[in-house]
Chains A and B, each alone.
Chain A
Amino acid sequence: MSGASITAEPPPQAAPPEAGGEDRSRYRAGALFLLPAFILLGVWLVYPTVYTIVRSFFGQHGYLGTWVGLDNYRALFTTSALTTAIKNSAIWVAVVPAFVTAFGLLFAVLTERISWAVGFKTVIFLPMAISAFATGVTWHLMYTQNPDLGAVNALGRTVADSFSTPGVLSNASPSTTALQPKGGGLLLKTPLQPGGVALLGLTGIAPLDVPQGAQQAVKPAPKPGDIVGTVWRDFKPGGGKPGVVEQGELGLPGVTVELRDSSGKVAQSTKTDPNGTFDFTDVAAGTYNAGIGASTFAKPFGGYSWLGPKLITPALLIAYIWIWAGFSMVVIAAGLAAMPREVLEAARTDGATELQVFRRVTVPLLAPVLSVVFITMIINVLKVFDIVIAMAPEGSQRSANVIALAMWRTAFSGFDFGTGSAIAVFLFLLVLPVLALNVRRFRTET
Chain B
Amino acid sequence: MTRNERARRARAARLAAAAAVLVVVLAVAAGCGGGSKKAGSTGSTTANKSVSGSVKFWGIWAATEQKAFQKVIAGFHKQYPNVNVTYSSKGNDIPTVLSTSIAGGNPPDMADIAQPGLMKQFVQQGHLKPIAYADSTISDNFSPAWKDLGKVNGKLYGLLFKASNKSTLWYNVNVLKQAGVQAPKTWSQMVSDAKTIKASGTPAYSLCGANGWTLTDIFENIYLRMWGQNKYDSLSAHQIKWTDSTVTKALQDMAQVLGDTGNIYGGTSGALQTDYPTCVDYAFATPPKAAFNLQGDFVSLEILQATKSKPVKDFNVVPFPTITSGPNSTAVETGGDLIVTFRDSPAIEAFMKYLASAQAAQIWAKLGGFGTGNKNVSASVYPDAITKATEAPLAGASSVAFDMSDEQPASFGATTGQGEWGIFQTFLQHPTDISSIQQQLESSAAKAYKSGK
Contacts and interface: CB of A to CB of B under 8 A. Distances in A.
B54 interface: no
Contacts, number: 152
A414 B275 contact: no
Nearest to A411: B411
Contact of A81 (B422, B428, B429, B450): B422
A206 B201 contact: yes
A395 B214 CA distance: 11
A60 B448 contact: yes
Given A71-B451, A206-B287, A394-B416, A171 B201 contact: yes
B273 A205 contact: no
B417 A235 contact: no
B418 A414 contact: yes
Residue picked from B287, B415, B417, most chain A C-beta under 10 Å: B417
B198 A398 contact: no
Interface in A94-127: none
Interface string A335-355: 000000000000000000000
A209 B180 contact: no
A145 B278 CA distance: 15
Contacts of A393: 210, 272-273, 275
B419 A414 contact: yes
B269 interface: yes
Interface residues of B, number: 49
B180 A416 contact: no
Contacts of B452: 59-61
Contact of A207 (B201, B211, B448): B201
A418 B210 CA distance: 27
Interface in B373-415: 409-412, 414-415
B275 A394 contact: yes
B201 A59 contact: no
B82 interface: no
B199 A239 contact: yes
B114 to A, nearest CB: 18
Interface in A249-307: 305, 307
A238 interface: yes
B158 interface: no
A415 B411 contact: yes
Contacts of B440: 80
B12 to A, nearest CB: 19
Nearest to A171: B201
Contacts of A29: none
B417 A59 contact: no
B425 interface: yes
Contacts of A75: 447
B241 to A, nearest CB: 17
B418 A205 contact: no
A406 interface: yes
B415 A175 contact: no
A413 B410 contact: yes
Given A81-B422, A394-B417, A204 B198 contact: yes
A398 B409 CA distance: 19
A1 to B, nearest CB: 30
Contacts of A71: 447, 450-451
Contacts of B453: 59, 66
B414 A416 contact: no
A13 interface: no
A209 B201 contact: yes
Given A305-B273, A395-B425, A81 B180 contact: no
A414 B414 contact: yes
B431 interface: no
A207 B202 CA distance: 9
Contact of A65 (B269, B272, B451): B451
A208 interface: yes
B451 A416 contact: yes
A395 B271 CA distance: 8
Interface string A357-379: 00000000000000000000000
B432 interface: no
Contact of B200 (A206, A415, A416): A206
B178 interface: yes
A236 interface: yes
Contacts of A247: none
Contacts of B422: 81, 397-398
B179 interface: yes
A410 B411 contact: yes
A72 B196 CA distance: 50
B398 to A, nearest CB: 32
Contacts of B409: 60, 414-416
Interface string A421-432: 000000000000
A236 B180 contact: yes
Contacts of B209: 395
A409 B269 contact: no
Given A59-B451, A235-B199, A415 B179 contact: no
B181 interface: yes
A192 B216 CA distance: 52
Contacts of B52: none
Interface in A397-411: 397-398, 401, 406, 409-410
Interface in B172-199: 177-181, 196, 198-199
Contacts of A397: 416-417, 422
A206 B418 contact: no
A309 B448 contact: no
A78 B443 contact: yes
Interface string A225-251: 000000000011111000000000000
A81 B411 contact: no
Contact of A309 (B200, B269, B414, B416): B269
A414 B410 contact: yes
A61 B273 CA distance: 32
Q: List 6 tightest A-B contacts by C-beta distance, closest first.
A: A237-B180, A414-B411, A206-B201, A395-B272, A238-B180, A397-B417
Given A238-B196, A398-B426, 13 more contacts: A59-B450, A65-B451, A71-B451, A72-B451, A79-B443, A203-B200, A206-B287, A305-B269, A308-B273, A393-B210, A395-B273, A414-B418, A419-B411
14 contacts: A81-B422, A206-B202, A237-B181, A238-B180, A238-B181, A239-B196, A305-B270, A309-B272, A395-B212, A395-B425, A396-B273, A398-B426, A414-B412, A419-B411
Interface of A: 59-61, 65-66, 68, 71-72, 75, 78-81, 145, 171, 175, 203-209, 235-239, 305, 307-310, 393-398, 401, 406, 409-410, 413-416, 418-419
